Structure 1
Amino acid sequence: MRSINLFAMSTLSASLLVLSGQSFAHEGHHAMSMSEQQTQPAEDIPMDHSQHQKMSAAPQVVEEKQMQPVQLAHSNSDGFDQDHKLDYQFDHKVDHAAHLKEHGGQIYQQTILESKWLRNDDGRGVLKSELETRIGTDENKIFIKVHTDKAESAQAEYDAKLLYSRNVADFWDVQAGLRYRNDPNREIDQDQVDAVLGLHGMAPYFFETDAYVYIGQDRQVSFNLETERDLLLTQKWIVKPYLDINMVLSDDSNYAKKTGLNSAQVGLEIRYEINKKVMPFMDLAYGYNKGVQETARQKSSSSENAWFYGAGLRFKF
């Protein structure tokens, strides 16, 4: 009986061991299968790298496009390719044109019209009128100057100048052109044409200066100097001293003048500027006129000195 009980207990123990071993083996196999499923893609499962290659290629294309101008810029020995050269030259021309426009490259125009009536000590009067217009840039300009004198009991004399002006230094232009003169009080040689060469600009101490040499027929050579300066008393009242000198270097014409200082006038103008376009003024001056030499067409005359006074009106636009 005892042996039967031992056999039954042994059989029961063996059965429990067998059942527990199968359960442990199944759990171990299941655990191993889970770990293998987690590690298998890195070792056994093949992957499709096409999408990865596309994603990695996109930044490379962008980077190559970004670097392309730099590579092209260094493709030539001079540092720029042809397209970049054209763009640079165009931008440079545009910047240069804008710079010129802002610093004197623009075309401008100015016209001054002036008329004044002067009388001398003897009560004889003369009406003097001037027109000056200029157009161009700071470097190249065209000047047109017209001057008329109408003395009492005489016909009006006038001259007109057409000048090309070229800037050669700070505040100075060289001018060249022609002057046409008309004197209807003469019997012959009423019309004269002279070549003109001179300087126009600003002398030291702000004196506006015009200096011209005239060369005409019959060995007529003369020199003219005009200089003036504005002195501001107020913003409206302005005083302008001026000097006008004419010299004859040679003259073999029918109405020849004596060589040397032919005429000189020094004066003082006081003007009131209503605005920058309308300016009435008063004028006081002392003048000298040298006589003429005797020719077949005229008698000799002596020199004259006289005071002149009067008033005028100037327009600027």
Structure 2
Amino acid sequence: MKRLIALLLIGTAGPAFAQDHSQHQMPADDPHAGHAMPAPTDDPHAGHTMPAPTDPHAGHVMPQADPHAGHGATPSGPSISKGPPPAAAAGGPTYAADAVFGADTMAAARAALYKETGGMTVSKTIVDRLEAGFGQGEETYLWDVQGWIGRDIDKFWWKTEGEGAFGGPLESAEVQALWSHAIGPFFDLQAGVRYDIRPEPDRAHAVIGIQGLAPYKFEVDAAAFISTKGDVTARIEAEYDQRLTQKLILQPRIEVELSAQDIPEYGIGAGLSAIEAGARLGYEFVPQFRPYVGVEWHRKIGDTADFARAAGEDVDAVRGLVGVRFWF
């Protein structure tokens, strides 16, 4: 009986035990277990067979290099004829456009072109020095003005200058009327007359000289004078505008006077008679207007100095200057 009960218990417990174990999943065996796996890589094409790069010029016909390139070979082409031009080249009308637009129309057009590109009449007046001088107890004034009217080659040129003491008589004054003819890009030949108003006696002179721009931009005015009395004198002036800035300009200036003989009535001796040298520092507000200050030294030389001493005059002097330069 006990054996029968034990067998029954064993029979009922078996299915339950099998059911309990069927609910637990057992890990499956890894098929790669024990295999060496390659390290992961970022290249998306790893393991792919890439095609070989193609030639960008594949299928193009490449030009062959010229072995004589750069050797200065003369290009082939039609030969250039030598000799004078054919007669037909000079056989046409003087102004071919006359046949198209009419002779009257083209004559007016050529006249306007000539006028606008150099044939016009121009004029200018330059007040080169208008100044007051101070020194040795004397106040003086001076003017130096010139101008012209004309065309590129020929002009009428006029000049006037003079000086004196404030409160005193006019010491010297002159006027020149000149024909000016261009003898080069930078120089004019000038000829005409000069008339001295002071000192007395009044006297007229024939004038011949040159004026222009020397190398390095030195402005030069040189002239010889022959008076109605046969006296021969000369004057040379030179000045230079040195730009310290675009507006500040230093102008050194020198003037030399010479005479071929003594002229006692004018107090002038033969030879080198006088020299003036100075410098003016100006500020150019606009190109047409430049006030300045400066200093200048005057010296009478040789027989001219002897005439001055005999008249009780100083033979040299230094003056401070205040003035203005303008043109229009």
Task: Flag whether TM exceeds 0.5 (same fold).
Answer: yes
Question: Partner residue of 1:270?
Answer: 281
Residue from 219, 235, 243 that aligns with 1:232: 243
Question: Partner residue of 2:198?
Answer: 183
Query: What amino acid does structure 2 have at the position aligned with 1:146?
Result: T
User: Do 1:248 and 1:257's aligned partners in 2 also have CA atoms closer than 8 Å?
Assistant: yes
Q: Shift of residue 96 of structure 1?
A: 5.8
Report the TM-score, using the length of structure 2 for normalisation: 0.63
Q: Shift of residue 139 of structure 1?
A: 0.8
User: Do 2:234 and 2:257's aligned partners in 1 also have CA atoms closer than 8 Å?
Assistant: yes
Deviations 1:149-175 (A, max 9, x none): 112453113100011100011201100
| Aligned mates of 1:315, 1:82 — CA distance in 2 | 47
Question: Partner residue of 1:129?
Answer: 143
Secondary structure of the 2:216 match is: coil
User: Do 1:272 and 1:279's aligned partners in 2 also have CA atoms closer than 8 Å?
Assistant: yes
Kindly indicate whether residue 94 of structure 2 is the aligned counterpart of residue 79 of structure 1. no
| Aligned mates of 1:275, 1:116 — CA distance in 2 | 19
| Aligned mates of 1:93, 1:217 — CA distance in 2 | 48
Kindly indicate whether residue 305 of structure 2 is the aligned counterpart of residue 305 of structure 1. no
Report the TM-score, using the length of structure 1 for normalisation: 0.65
Q: Shift of residue 249 of structure 1?
A: 1.2
Residue from 200, 204, 211 that aligns with 1:193: 204
| Aligned mates of 1:109, 1:280 — CA distance in 2 | 23
Q: In the TM superposition, what are the counterparts of 1:1-317 in structure 2 within 5 Å?
A: 79-80=91-92, 87=99, 97=111, 100-101=114-115, 103-113=117-127, 114-120=129-135, 122-152=136-166, 154-156=168-170, 157-183=172-198, 186=200, 189=201, 191-252=202-263, 254-290=265-301, 292=304, 299=310, 304-317=315-328
User: Do 2:274 and 2:304's aligned partners in 1 also have CA atoms closer than 8 Å?
Assistant: no
Note closer, same or farther for the CA distance 1:85–1:226 as it changes in structure 2 (3 Å cut): same
Query: What amino acid does structure 1 have at the position aligned with 2:190?
Result: Q
Note closer, same or farther for the CA distance 1:124–1:302 as it changes in structure 2 (3 Å cut): closer
The structure carrying a bigger helix percent of its residues is: 1
Say what the alpha-carbon RMSD is for the aligned residues: 3.2
| Aligned mates of 2:126, 2:93 — CA distance in 1 | 53
Identify unmatched segments of 5+ residues in structure 1: 1-75
Query: What amino acid does structure 2 have at the position aligned with 1:79?
Result: G
Question: Partner residue of 2:57?
Answer: none
User: Do 1:218 and 1:253's aligned partners in 2 also have CA atoms closer than 8 Å?
Assistant: no
